[in-house]
Structure 1
């Protein structure tokens, strides 16, 4: 019922797994990324009525086994379905896919959004990555790829630049899977969705290096990530970001522990079989008009009302979304970004990974 349901190719992957030729409108809201706090607050804040009657519209989260939040603490019911990446993994393995190390090390810098930029010394971080891992494949957010200062910093350090594309590209997740599925190690300077993805499919994954600055977030936010999910952090207890190396002793055990944790955070125990998934998403034999009306009319109006202050987010949602600025004028920089578009096309059959887009 909202554009976030189709971010990153998620609905396309779910449709392929469910046996449909292309995505449909989902009867509810689908979590679109891993979050250190409640996805109800972080992703669903603009729609406070969704989930109050889960028989009509559900709040579809990835997992009920996360360290950062508990479904029992929410005022709305949530339904765990597992992360779309894990469904993609199932599809690929059905066709004989397996991991490899042929890309070598992959680094995915923490990125900002249309509204809030990540600031700091990209050049220093790029040189640090080259020192620790050598020349690497660096996957930049598509907006960072258009920033000459950022691309120059990474390219001058000897790295190969790629991007997974725009968030409305149905092949986005295929490109991410190509990267993390062929990397000897995936690293980032902040714990993020990509790190969890890599660990979940068995690729060594780590967080190290300068976390840079994101909006109004301070050092406390980074320290909390390190304290709550120490399995992914290799930069030492003091968090100085200077040590990205992996100790050889106990590395296999550490990787196995990280994989188990990542799969729990992504909801591996909640994955559904195709028929059950279709039912949970509201994908019956024939498409329903209700979710379509919500997608094209009600959802944009609800978002506009929230941005303009005509309706208010809960206090928890305001805290979860306060890394940047609550100034509604910021949204006017990209006034068309939240408008609904035609649904994405389906994925090819059989499903396969896709090469990421190369930088210039």
Structure 2
């Protein structure tokens, strides 16, 4: 019922797993990224009525086993369905896919958005990555690729720059899987979705380096990430060892934790997944009307201050720097678009030219 349901190719992957040729409108809201806080606050704040009656519209989260939040603390019911990347893993494994390390080290810098930029010494971080891992494949957020200062910092250090594409690209998740599925190690300077994805499919994954600055977020936020999820953080990036563990033990612990955070125990079979998403035998008209009419109006009301967010939601969404003016700089970004195309069958990541579009 909102464009976020189709971010990063999630609905395309779920449609392929459910046996559909292309995505449909979802009867509710789908979590679109890992979050250190509640996805109800971080992703669903613009729609405070969704989830009040789960029989009509559900709040679909990845997991009820996260360290950063508990469904018992929410005023609205949530349904755990697992992360789309784990459904993609199932699809690929059914076709005989397995991990490799042929791409070598992959680094995913913590990125900003069109609303809040990441600032700091990108060049220093790029040189540290080159010193520790050597020239690496660096997956840049497509909006960061518009910043010459950021791109030159990484390319001048000898790294190969790629991108998974725009968030509305149905092949986004396939490109991410191509990277993490063929990496000898996946690293980032901030705990984020990509690190969880890599660890979940068994790739060595770790967080190290300057976390940079995100909006008005304080240093205590980074300290809290390290304290809550120590399994992913390392003070010795060369060895990959974490506190009280060797590298191998650390990778096993990180994989177990990542799969719990992503909801591996909540994955549904195709029929149950279609039911959870509201995908019946024929398309439902209601979610389509909400997608094209009701949801944009509800979101505009939030942006303009006609409907008030909770303090928790504002903090979770904006790193303490939310302003309606930021949204008004990009007034068309939240408008609904036609549903994305479905994925080709069989689903594959083995097309490097298409999987890794260059900036």
For Structure 1 versus Structure 2, the TM-score category normalised by the shorter chain is over 0.9
Structure 1 gap segments, 5+ residues each: 237-242
Give, in whole Å, the separation in 1 of the partners of 2:47 and 2:139.
32
Give, in whole Å, the separation in 2 of the partners of 1:80 and 1:57.
14
Give, in whole Å, the separation in 1 of the partners of 2:156 and 2:39.
37
Change (3 A) 1:158 1:324: farther
Cα-to-partner distance string for 1:192-251 (whole Å, 9 max, x where unaligned):
000000000000000000000000111100000000000000026xxxxxx554249722
5 Å-filtered alignment, 1:235-246, equals 235=235, 243-246=237-240
SS at match of 2:88: helix
Partners of 2:59 and 2:79 within 8 A in 1: yes
- Counterpart in the other structure of 1:240: none
- Counterpart in the other structure of 1:322: 318
Partners of 2:165 and 2:357 within 8 A in 1: no
Query: Which residue of 301, 306, 310 maps to 1:305?
Result: 301
Partners of 1:50 and 1:57 within 8 A in 2: yes
Give, in whole Å, the separation in 2 of the partners of 1:247 and 1:25.
44
Partners of 1:214 and 1:324 within 8 A in 2: no
Give, in whole Å, the separation in 2 of the partners of 1:359 and 1:147.
15
Partners of 1:209 and 1:244 within 8 A in 2: no
Give, in whole Å, the separation in 2 of the partners of 1:179 and 1:247.
23
Partners of 1:235 and 1:244 within 8 A in 2: no
Q: CA deviation at 1:313?
A: 0.8
Give, in whole Å, the separation in 2 of the partners of 1:311 and 1:141.
31
Partners of 2:241 and 2:250 within 8 A in 1: no
- Counterpart in the other structure of 1:341: 337
Partners of 1:60 and 1:79 within 8 A in 2: yes
Change (3 A) 1:335 1:65: same
- Counterpart in the other structure of 1:285: 281
Q: CA deviation at 1:324?
A: 5.2
Note if 1:262 corresponds to 2:262.
no
Task: Give TM-score, length-normalised by structure 1.
Answer: 0.96
Cα-to-partner distance string for 1:7-61 (whole Å, 9 max, x where unaligned):
0000000000000000000000000000000000000000000000000000000
Give, in whole Å, the separation in 2 of the partners of 1:72 and 1:334.
35
Task: Give TM-score, length-normalised by structure 2.
Answer: 0.97
Give, in whole Å, the separation in 2 of the partners of 1:254 and 1:329.
43
Question: What count of residue pairs does the alignment treat as equivalent?
Answer: 354
